[in-house]
Structure 1
């Protein structure tokens, strides 16, 4: 398996991603959408999630497809980014048709970045506007690191960030991952290598894999209120909601490979999994197995890439990986 041409989640045909941020507040929002509504599942393994409309994604719920996904900083305030996206999509007449009304379905998840050194004093919630800007900027091409939902993200020892990666399976199906890395733990055992090192391809996070140092002691962690890693994994393979849910669950292996510890009681670690349904599966059992493996591998790589590409800004409370 090799990365797609962009090594981004947008190598899955039809997907676009937009980011918007406020450097003074040290926060931002990220929006993913497709040419058409898409099938979506979710798996939440953190103990402290903040979400919107994730219950709709259960396989037994009525709505079968969603119109966009939002990842945002800002804790509970950040959920308002999805409101801005919903308003804009309604203007575009995109959404679930109910009689003469159109209701955009936009699940969202938030991370906590309210104590990261940014100016958090505002008279009006800034996240609705950030959601609108992110949607308006959506494109196949986007940079990684300190932008979008990853703008103010932190780890125990370094800044976090927005990461992405992709893989093409031997079957021809494409898998991609997008992540905002804001973990309680660390992406590196020693400040010079990544836990995700064994899965690096083409020096995509600086060739900093190598042999991990032995870590038998308690790994570094940060304050229990500064956490949550949010991810989206995507494929062009035709999957049901139940199969997307299984892919999301399997993709958590990638989070555990790249972040130590992960899925803690103080993280809201969450993964959305989506299918654009453009390429049928010939062997459902065999290929869904490899889709899950590819999703986990992409996510581990995306996490390391997000941390590796983080850039410093005034007032940071932790250094960037490349500056440490």
Structure 2
């Protein structure tokens, strides 16, 4: 078995076209959903109890961040105690990953124990060691020796650039961050916004693209007919903007499921004009600009998980579909200056048909916008970047 620590190359794969999923628009009401496009009415779309990746049976999330004392960064870990069928899709041209190669179709089919999302740029890859040591100490991983303590876990990691964004340039996650994050891994609600890998993140890293706003961690889930669950978590640190060109609306809120964005409404024209003016005064341009960003490392890194039984190839397609969904809400996305990376995990519990797999992919594409919107709406302002809600207060009901 080999381990790769590398900058993966920009993938040139083009995602297959998917049957469009019915999505909800606006804020909706509790338990509300849409209907199908022809034929019998579809069941209302719904999310899991926590509306988080942890709604997927067999998935836990832990996060650790440090703010103050020169630090403004953190680490998030998605852990599958029983292992998962895993894969990875690397869509950006400037990624920092560990073990994304071994997760590609055609490679050795070892189960994935955990996926790590972390700040710190390439320095933040140190968090991987803390997760590995913790898993070995708790006897999680592939047994490779004559005794059960001789395990070799498979852990994947991706990083975001957050150096000197409120902290010292030299203050980054190390093994301690990885250890503390996986120690905190639980089921149930997942903290969002300025936590874990989202502690030091931003959107619109170059203001030529749109207003620089605080990013963060976001998560959401969807429960399909038949009970299959799919969920995702992301650290949004995009070079692109999730803010609509003309209205300053947050794009992902249009994929609303149930009542999840009840506190959001499109911002007023006055708030939008004021934000555009501040952006222009800061040397950037309003979000209607489509200027190409200058070279700068930025990334949206994610994990998508499901309890559906998937092959390695299907898991890879699931990861690619989540990636492709981000193109609907983050513009630009998958540029040569992005490190966009997605890990997929199947806890392998529920057999599905080909049609159900197509439904799973459609739901995953819808998750992309929802996790971005949750990350932006739950973020809080820092000295480095204002939050969406502080920049556009009419959009957020307190």
Q: Taking structure 1 as the reference length, what is the TM-score of the superposition? A: 0.92
Q: Does structure 2 retain, via aligned residues, the 8 Å contact 1:200–1:207?
A: no
Q: Which residue of the partner structure matches residue 199 of structure 1?
A: 255
Q: Which residue of the partner structure matches residue 274 of structure 1?
A: 345
Change (3 A) 1:115 1:208: farther
SS class of match (2:203): coil
Q: Which of 219, 223, 230 does residue 168 from structure 1 map onto?
A: 223
Pair 1:146-2:158 in alignment: no
Q: Does structure 2 retain, via aligned residues, the 8 Å contact 1:184–1:221?
A: no
Pair 1:42-2:88 in alignment: yes
Q: Which residue of the partner structure matches residue 104 of structure 1?
A: 153
- Trace 1:48-127 onto structure 2 (pairs within 5 A): 48-100=94-146, 101-122=150-171, 126-127=173-174
SS class of match (2:314): helix
Deviation for aligned residue 1:116: 1.4
Q: Does structure 1 retain, via aligned residues, the 8 Å contact 2:94–2:338?
A: yes
Deviation for aligned residue 1:171: 2.5
Q: Which residue of the partner structure matches residue 189 of structure 1?
A: 244
Deviation for aligned residue 1:200: 1.7
Pair 1:20-2:64 in alignment: yes
Change (3 A) 1:49 1:126: closer
Q: Does structure 2 retain, via aligned residues, the 8 Å contact 1:181–1:229?
A: yes
Change (3 A) 1:222 1:321: farther
Question: Structure 2: how far apart are the matches of 1:196 and 1:79?
Answer: 29
Deviation for aligned residue 1:274: 1.1
Question: Structure 2: how far apart are the matches of 1:246 and 1:211?
Answer: 39
Which structure 1 residue ranges, 5 or more long, are not aligned? none
Q: Does structure 2 retain, via aligned residues, the 8 Å contact 1:196–1:209?
A: no
Instruction: Give the stretch that moved more between structures: 99-108 or 84-93.
Output: 99-108
Q: Taking structure 2 as the reference length, what is the TM-score of the superposition? A: 0.75
Change (3 A) 1:236 1:97: same
Deviation for aligned residue 1:196: 1.5
Q: Which residue of the partner structure matches residue 380 of structure 2?
A: 311
* Structure with the greater alpha carbon radius of gyration: 2
Pair 1:7-2:51 in alignment: yes
Question: Structure 2: how far apart are the matches of 1:86 and 1:52?
Answer: 12
Q: Does structure 1 retain, via aligned residues, the 8 Å contact 2:63–2:184?
A: yes
Change (3 A) 1:6 1:29: same
Question: Structure 2: how far apart are the matches of 1:8 and 1:130?
Answer: 22
Q: Does structure 2 retain, via aligned residues, the 8 Å contact 1:177–1:302?
A: yes
Aligned length in residues: 317
Which structure 2 residue ranges, 5 or more long, are not aligned? 1-44, 205-211, 273-285, 392-398
Change (3 A) 1:202 1:287: closer
Q: Does structure 2 retain, via aligned residues, the 8 Å contact 1:185–1:260?
A: yes
